[in-house]
Amino acid sequence: MAIISIPSSTTMFPMPQQVLRQDREALTLGHNFEKYEDDDNADFVIIKGAGRTFSAGGDLRIFYEERNTRDSCLEGTYRMYWLCYHIHTYKKPHIALVHGMSVGGGASLMAPMKFSVVTEKAFSSTPETNIGFHPDCGFSYMLPRLPGRLGEKLRGKEVVAAGLATHFVPSQKLFQLEKHLLSIKSGDEDTIRSVINEFSSNIHIDERSVLNKLSIINECFSKDSVEEIIESFEAEGSRKGNDWILAVLKSLKKASPTALKITLRSIREGRTQTISECLRREFRISMNIQRAITSGDFYEGIRAQIIDKDKSPKWNPSTLDKVHDDQLDLIFKPFEDHELELQIPINEEEYRWRGKYENSSYSHLRGSVLM
């Protein structure tokens, strides 16, 4: 992670070119967000990709390679969720300049920003169920507050129309926008918005976009269970003009049954919870998935998609009807020791930058059996 300090009222964070090694990158990002929130000379923050992409999320190979060592990736997971809370509640304006991939956990560094600018080359999705995981890093809070309960791959203007970004700027104007932002001498949000608006374009969604199918999507995803959602899509897909549903059904049916049920429950709970409550729950879910307490689908998904690349995961359980509520309860169950929960404030003003990994119970119990 390279840090560039601009000699003005702005601080810019270039992101790694490909993926996050969560422990190191989340530590560095967290350190700098904290530093510049308290720096009177930094009126706002810009975050952007260092290469041709924004962020592809965490390095999944590390999870797979260290799967036989209990809690080997705990530190990075903890730091990333802790960082997400502080991005959601940041005290200064922050701006994401997104050109290229912003997927999974990487999208959590785009969507919560006060201003998030995407180009036609940007695309975003939450494909975690395809690797036996769940939309995390605050997405159980964000997704139920977006139109259409979407998890589809969205491109350019669609990202803005779906509510995951605030502005669309053509790629040929992005450099000039950045240059103008760096000339601003205050953190006034209206001033920042005015500068971005000068370079942004109006949003016109292609008639073939999935965003034009929201009435059907809303109706199908309003069902009470994953099984009923799929049945509803199958019924809609049999109607003339709904060929686009075939791709939706294919995506749902190839995903991990366990991950689908975890995701539906998590997002439904997130509808009425705060960002703090959602992040605590997501951290708990993620740790239990990594510990494979009910299923090893996370590691099987990584194997099939990234390691062997055979694209043929062997999910266990293999079908939705074999995923039972008591299994899900184990994944969602709070830790018996409250100190092992993600340490972020229930009351935003309670404290601000405490609760870091190095001050948590986990750092002192590293290598112990933690439940």
Token pair for residue 308?
């062997």
Classify burial at 237, counting beta carbons within 10 Å of its beta carbon; exposed 0-12, middle 13-18, buried 19 or more.
Answer: middle
Contact 237, 253 (CB under 8 A): no
Contact 71, 370 (CB under 8 A): yes
Kindly name the residue from 30, 49, 58, 132 that is annotated as catalytic. Answer: 58
Give the span between the Cα atoms of 256 and 139, in whole angstroms: 18
Kindly name the residue from 30, 49, 104, 105 that is annotated as catalytic. Answer: 105
Classify burial at 293, counting beta carbons within 10 Å of its beta carbon; exposed 0-12, middle 13-18, buried 19 or more.
Answer: middle
User: Coil, strand or helix: which one is 168?
Assistant: strand
Closest CA to 292 of 50, 64, 25: 64
Kindly name the residue from 128, 158, 282, 297 that is annotated as catalytic. Answer: 128
Give the span between the Cα atoms of 65 and 172, in whole angstroms: 40
Give the span between the Cα atoms of 17 and 166, in whole angstroms: 23
- Mark whether 269 is an active-site residue: no
The sign one gets for the Cα dihedral 113, 115, 120, 121 is negative
Contact 45, 3 (CB under 8 A): no
Q: What is the DSSP code (8-state) at residue 18?
A: S
Classify burial at 370, counting beta carbons within 10 Å of its beta carbon; exposed 0-12, middle 13-18, buried 19 or more.
Answer: middle
Q: What is the DSSP code (8-state) at residue 304?
A: I
Total length of the chain: 371
Residue whose pair of structure tokens reads 């959590």 in the numeric block: 108
- Mark whether 136 is an active-site residue: yes
- Mark whether 58 is an active-site residue: yes
The pair phi, psi for residue 48, each rounded to 5°, is: -150, 165
Kindly name the residue from 136, 236, 282, 300 that is annotated as catalytic. Answer: 136
**What is the DSSP code string of 55-82?**
B--B-HHHHHHTTTSTTTTHHHHHHHHH
Query: 203 Cβ partners below 8 Å, 6+ apart?
Result: 157, 160, 161, 168
- Which residues are designated catalytic? 58, 105, 128, 136
